[in-house]
Amino acid sequence: MAKRSDAITKGFDRTPHRALLKGTGVPQQEMDKPFIGIATSFTDLIPGHTGMRDLERFIEKGVHTGGGYAFFFGIPGVCDGIAMGHKGMHYSLPTRELIADMVESVAEAHRLDGLILLTNCDKITPGMLMAAARLDIPCLVVTAGPMLTGAGREGRKFSFVSDTFEAMAKYKAGVIDEKELMVCEDMACPTAGSCQGLFTANTMAILTETLGMSLVRCGTALAVSSLKRRIAFASGQRIVELVRDGITPRQIMTKAAFENAIRVDVALGGSSNTVLHLLSIAREAGVELPLSEFDRISRETPQLASMNPGGKHFMEDLDGAGGVAGVLYQLRSLVKDNPTLTGPSVKEIIASVGSVDEEVIRPMSDPYRAEGGIAILAGNLAPEGAVVKQSGVSEQMMVFEGRARCFDSEEGAMAALMGGQVVAGDVVVIRYEGPKGGPGMREMLAPTATLMGLGLGDSVALITDGRFSGGTRGPCIGHISPEAAEGGPIGLVRDGDRIRLDIPARKLELLVDDAELARRQAAWTAPEPKIKTGWLARYAKVVTSAHTGAICKA
């Protein structure tokens, strides 16, 4: 079998290359085996990644059992929760591009035959998938899995967002005392793994499995489970088979696969960040995926689950209820057949489902909501679109009109919120936080969680050209395009302007006449960049709008 690695192992003119490989400890008899790179994002900095050393061992065992030779190389990770609310969050989304570039660079420079991509958190998983689609060599993703909820008295379950960010605001409002706040802090993250609800990390793990890029149950199996170890081992074996059979990501990540992924996403009420990520992955895979597809699929797909942060169930519940296969089973009349890297096709996986816990994953005849979790809005405030996680919005806030309170940074908005300056009937406008203006399109979990913790979730809306954590709930509209830094209408809003949100009608409107908006546009000038040096300054020059996936121009 001809292999990519032959370029560094075959022929007399590759004597220096083999010498260096032997310098790493590779025996001569292993030179003919498929060379499998294991791109690992292990770090002590992120709870979702601290358990990866264990999974690395099992992947390596699987690769060698399958007849390959494994090589580890490192990929960086940023914890969005730790990076939240300060300069660090500027770096989170841009790392997605760095991760894709790093995986590409190592795989191409060392002519690896196949890759296992060991990942878990928000930007790391989509960055890995972008690289897989770009390289189009055999690749398999292992997501490290969610953490358990914290167990409290009387059946209470503690989780990261509800019991840290929202608890912080409750403490500020006097709803809980310092002792209860400390209990929340101690119980919110009790084990290794990605945060327990359907935030971005877990949503992306689920969508990776739905796309067919990881093994069955990988998307929901808990980080602390022996099942996750067995999945890691099986993935190591399977990647060698994929190399020998010549099966590559673009054969798997088809238009049907992306449609299935969107359908599962909206049926579960997943993170709004998946819009950015699926758009960027599809582009790398050569699949045309317009923003409008998310709204079309969401309108025809009912929401079948009530997942934290907006609902009552956690990842451990979803895994026990049937996982991704269980969701596909309940959606079977809408799901398209497609190959997977596992071996069985999507329809064959559905046919293998024995039972589903319909308390957690309801049938389509009895949904939580008639429509899926994501809605794409448009209007004179967002000519190129905006995104809302409608699964986290209460019925009374699906249509809302209020007065604008404008802030040119997240910090300004947080100061006003914590200072009691935002009141019922306001629409908080946070701008110059988009891909270019931020730069880096920071997540706004702190202000959105503060709104909920202060009890303003049913009386105040928030709009931004930035984005939200998967932990966000409430009437929060992000990804407004074009962004303020590009001269978008969100940059023209003034304090006191009326803004109308109509999610059922998919409208976001600034109630100011066209002539006045034209006068404001003529007077608008681009602000000075917030960051003028380093990687972020370069990123701001090449990043595109949110409605395209915030990708970097070639």
Q: Do 209 and 337 sit in the same domain of this protein?
A: yes
Q: State the chain's mean pLDDT as an integer.
A: 95
Q: Do 336 and 280 sit in the same domain of this protein?
A: yes
Mean predicted confidence (pLDDT) in 394-406:
96
For residue 442, what are the CA distances in angstroms to 410, 411, 447, 462, 465?
9, 11, 12, 14, 9
Give the residue from 138, 171, 187 where a domain finishes.
187
Q: Do 130 and 156 sit in the same domain of this protein?
A: no
Identified catalytic residue from 272, 469, 481, 545? 469
Q: Is 159 a catalytic residue?
A: no
Q: Any idea which residue has 């040119």 for tokens?
A: 408
Q: Do 259 and 116 sit in the same domain of this protein?
A: yes
Q: Do 420 and 486 sit in the same domain of this protein?
A: yes
Q: Is residue 366 part of a domain?
A: no
- Using DSSP, state whether 235 is helix, strand or coil: helix
Q: Do 130 and 239 sit in the same domain of this protein?
A: yes
For the segment 48-76, what is each residue's pLDDT rounded down to a tens digit? 999 999 999 999 999 999 999 999 999 99
Q: Do 344 and 401 sit in the same domain of this protein?
A: no
CA 465 and chain centroid, separation: 17
For the segment 143-176, what is each residue's pLDDT rounded down to a tens digit? 999 999 999 888 889 998 888 988 888 898 899 9
Q: Do 122 and 138 sit in the same domain of this protein?
A: yes
Q: Do 516 and 467 sit in the same domain of this protein?
A: yes
Q: Which of 41, 167, 193 is nearest to 102 (CA)?
A: 41
Q: Is residue 473 part of a domain?
A: yes
Sequential DSSP letters for 138-198: -EEEEE--BPPPEE-GGG-EE-TIIIIIHHHHHHHTTSS-HHHHHHHHHHS--SSSB-SSS
Q: Do 533 and 414 sit in the same domain of this protein?
A: yes
pLDDT of 242 above 80: yes
* 470 confidence band (pLDDT: 50, 70, 90): confident
- pLDDT at residue 152, rounded to an integer: 87
pLDDT of 33 above 80: yes
Q: Is the peptide bond before 27 cis (omega within 30 degrees of 0)?
A: no
Mean predicted confidence (pLDDT) in 165-190:
90
Which amino acid, 190? P
Q: Is residue 250 part of a domain?
A: yes
For residue 190, what are the CA distances in angstroms to 18, 151, 446, 484, 531?
46, 9, 21, 40, 36
**Inter-helix orientation angle 273-285/92-109, to 10°:** 30
Q: Is residue 100 part of a domain?
A: yes
- pLDDT at residue 34, rounded to an integer: 98
Q: Is residue 356 part of a domain?
A: no
For the segment 314-369, what is each residue's pLDDT rounded down to a tens digit? 999 999 999 999 999 999 999 999 999 999 999 999 999 999 999 999 999 999 99
- The pair of structure tokens assigned to 70 is 């494994």
Q: What percent of the chain has pLDDT over 90?
A: 90
Q: Do 326 and 380 sit in the same domain of this protein?
A: no
Domain count, the chain: 4
Q: Which of 265, 284, 285 is nearest to 275 (CA)?
A: 265
Q: What percent of the chain has pLDDT over 70?
A: 100
pLDDT of 471 above 80: no
Task: Please tell me what DSSP assigns to residue 336.
Answer: P
* 21 confidence band (pLDDT: 50, 70, 90): very high
- Using DSSP, state whether 95 is helix, strand or coil: helix
Q: How many CB atoms lie within 10 A of CB 411?
A: 14
- pLDDT at residue 220, rounded to an integer: 98
- pLDDT at residue 445, rounded to an integer: 83
Question: Among positive and negative, which fits the CA dihedral 204, 206, 210, 213?
Answer: positive
- pLDDT at residue 452, rounded to an integer: 87
Spatial contact of 344 and 352, defined as CB atoms under 8 Å apart: yes
For residue 392, what are the CA distances in angstroms to 21, 27, 166, 204, 520?
52, 55, 15, 18, 34
Task: Please tell me what DSSP assigns to residue 467.
Answer: B
- pLDDT at residue 168, rounded to an integer: 86
Helix (H) or strand (E) holding 501: strand 498-502
pLDDT of 241 above 80: yes
Which domain covers residue 432, as residue numbers?
374-548
- pLDDT at residue 310, rounded to an integer: 83
pLDDT of 554 above 80: no
Give the contacts of 267 (CB within 8 A, at least 6 positions apart): 301, 302, 303, 304, 305, 327, 330, 331, 372, 373
Task: Please tell me what DSSP assigns to residue 408.
Answer: S
* 472 confidence band (pLDDT: 50, 70, 90): confident
For the segment 478-508, what is each residue's pLDDT rounded down to a tens digit? 999 999 999 999 999 999 999 999 999 999 9
CATH number of residue 110's parent domain: 3.40.50.2300
Phi-psi region of 550 (alpha: psi -120 to 50; beta: other; left: phi over 0): left
